[in-house]
Amino acid sequence: MIVIDDALDLISSFDRRPFLVATDPPYAFGADVKEHAISATVAIVLRESARKLQTGGWMLVMCASSWRSVSYMIESVRGLVEPVRFGIWTKPKSRSKTRTPGWSWASVLVVAFRKGTSKELPASGTLDHIEAPPVTTGRRAELPAIVADWMIAPFATPGELLLDPFAGSGAIVAAAERAGMEAIGFERNP
């Protein structure tokens, strides 16, 4: 289920305790006021989502493959959840206009955080790497179903709740539902 409204407005009144928070938030680290507002919203919503997460639960956050982006996401939830593992989605063709000499692949990192301790870690290698092309139709940053399934499957617990505060096209919500979870996403842009 996707609720159409701003995550910043919805998260404060969200009274459920998800076992899994997974999201691909908007990346905005530019220098103008609009970009700063997006970055601030992401930080606040991630922090509030981490507060609501069940002890022993997991938080998966996709971020740009720059240290600045990774650091920003980790600092947003510091003290509430701990980073445990990284995964990498590499794309053989990038839709980005950014070009880096000597590097023809685009990559997205997934940071897996844990709240407190859990009975077990997902199996080794389950989130390490996936290679898949980006979706080239629909939303500009639409997440491919194969990538959403790769990301969610190791952490899915049937019957538990997944929250995606930046649901976008709903790929993560759909992956959680395929894995037998109840899933709620927030998205302000239908």
Provide the 10 A C-beta neighbour count for residue 182: 17
Tens digits of residue pLDDT in 134-156: 776 655 567 889 999 999 999 99
Q: What are the structure tokens assigned to 152, written together?
A: 């969610």
Q: Which is more confidently placed, 13 or 139?
A: 13
Kindly tell me if the per-residue pLDDT of 131 is higher than 80: no
Contacts 24+ apart (CB under 8 A), 139-142: 139/168, 139/169, 140/95, 141/24, 141/26, 141/168, 142/168, 142/169, 142/171
Tens digits of residue pLDDT in 83-99: 988 887 877 765 555 55
Can you tell me whether residue 4 is helix, strand or coil? strand
Q: Which residues pair with 1 in a beta bridge?
A: none
Confidence (pTM): 0.86
pLDDT for the residue 104: 47
What's the pLDDT band for 123 if we cut at 50, 70, 90?
Answer: low
Q: State the Cα–Cα distance between residues 120 and 155, nearest whole angstrom.
A: 10
